[in-house]
Structure 1
Amino acid sequence: MDLGIFCKGTLDQEVVDHCFASLFTLGKNPDPTYLDWLLKAWGWTLAVAGLGLLIALFLGAVMGTLRTLPPDSAWNRFLVRFSTVWVELFRNIPILVQVFLWYHVIPAFIPLLKGFPSYLLVSIALGFFTSARIAEQVRAGIQSLPSGQKAAATALGLTTYQSYRYVILPMALRIVIPPLTSESMNLIKNSSVAFAVSVPELTLFAMQAQEETSRGVEIYLAVTILYALSAFAVNRVMAHIEKRTRIPGFIVANTEAAAH
């Protein structure tokens, strides 16, 4: 393998002296190296995935909660149906198709979106797609709580909104952190679809750099390592959050109940 490929300029294909030192002048080098390009692409991957995750967490929590509302009013029944349609719609359309819809189709009906940069449209597509999956996890977390939690909140005179805010959601959201970890890691990997609309992220870098250098082994190996590092970092962060927010005795009690 020729790892020196990353120290070559992208314009003249000549090896750049002090390759790693050039990282401190990122964006100012008239002939950036493939290492510069790789790190910029990594930044775009993290930006698209990070924004998509924020959208997914917010919408997923909202839609998952709405799906569990008690059907005691016409408004609640409407919200349950709306959230159900949301989940079934976005989780049953392939993510690549959703990216193309947001990039080519939806702006034709919402002209405001024509001014949005491609990375933002991809983040929205990723966020909506992942929100449907997170919504199901939130719904499952809420429904896994003992019925006594809701009954106790009602007995204390709490409204439905207060019950969810102070009793149900604080418990349910901590329960679903493990599956949320998997979804967060998947979002890092799914961000690779951004290459389809020319967002300069890792996958697009790999394809173009391999064509220019014919060094596919080194290029794709580097990109693979960065994807793995990104997913591992998310895993560690979520594991730390899970540890800090764990409900004392909840896992132990359920484990003992399952054993019996």
Structure 2
Amino acid sequence: MNIDYLINITVPMLEGAQMTVLLFFIAIIASLPLGFVLTLMANSKSKPLAWFAHTYIYVVRGTPLLLQLLFICFGLPIIPVIGDYLVMDRFVAACLGFILNYAAYFAEIFRGGLLAIDKGQYEAAQVLGLNRWQTTTKIIVPQMVRVALPAIANESITLVKDTALLYAVAVPELLYFAQTAVNRDFTIAPFFIAGIIYLLMAFVLTLFFKSLERRFKFE
């Protein structure tokens, strides 16, 4: 095994990693606000909204992400009558599955952050004459994010690793190219290279969230 071979198998894996990174950014950007909306719905005084949010979170967190991806990619298109209208590109379907799944987990993280805020904060906001929107955006959300940030960081790193599930729905990403090289060349070197790439992505994320934690800590 020489350096030329390692370069030859690394290049396509780096191309696959671009799909991994793209899915990560789409999922994280969409699932974070959706998770916050679910948290607000779960805490809503409207019983139907609260019931829907709690049920959604329970079902999504209680079933495997792989099952959800398979259902969206291969199950929705065979639903009678409406199935033909639910056919999606595999990558689009995978993005939808990741967004819906991680929104439920982020909703629980945000809920934990809200529970950590002392009720006196709400009372103080009323004394200061702040309305509900001002209280939420200027007092509650910053404190909630500060509490929830370590858990968000952990979940984000898990998201990077879970992108390997794209392989199961035939979307060519990092692990797909690694497995292809292993089957073709009968060597485990591609798995080690794939592992290094995943570790590098997790390392970059860890540094990013550490800097965010320091910023929120001193604000």
Q: Give TM-score, length-normalised by structure 1.
A: 0.76
- The answer to whether the 8 Å contact 2:10/2:190 transfers is no
How far residue 158 of structure 1 moved from its aligned partner, in angstroms, is 4.1
Which residue does the alignment assign to 2:215?
A: 244
Mapping 1:1-260, distance limit 5 Å: 1-7=1-7, 33-69=8-44, 71=45, 76-107=46-77, 108=79, 109=82, 111-114=84-87, 116-216=88-188, 218-246=189-217, 248=219
Distance in 2 (CA, whole Å) between partners of 1:127 and 1:152 is: 36
Q: What's the secondary structure of 2:137's corresponding residue?
A: helix
- The answer to whether the 8 Å contact 2:13/2:175 transfers is no
Structure 1's unaligned 5+ residue stretches are 8-32, 249-260
Matched AA of 1:136 = E
Distance in 2 (CA, whole Å) between partners of 1:45 and 1:113 is: 24
Q: What's the secondary structure of 1:246's corresponding residue?
A: helix
- The answer to whether the 8 Å contact 1:189/1:227 transfers is yes
Give the 3 Å change call, closer, same or farther, for CA 170–77 of structure 1 in structure 2: farther
RMSD: 1.9
How far residue 3 of structure 1 moved from its aligned partner, in angstroms, is 4.3
- The answer to whether the 8 Å contact 1:65/1:138 transfers is no
How far residue 201 of structure 1 moved from its aligned partner, in angstroms, is 0.7
Matched AA of 2:164 = S
Q: What's the secondary structure of 1:176's corresponding residue?
A: helix
Relative contact order, higher structure (CA 8 A, sep 6+): 2
The structure with the largest helix share of the pair is 2
How far residue 53 of structure 1 moved from its aligned partner, in angstroms, is 1.3
Distance in 1 (CA, whole Å) between partners of 2:200 and 2:22 is: 15
Whichever of the two has the greater Rg, that structure is: 1
Distance in 1 (CA, whole Å) between partners of 2:97 and 2:62 is: 13
Distance in 2 (CA, whole Å) between partners of 1:178 and 1:110 is: 40
Q: Give percent identity, aligned residues only.
A: 24
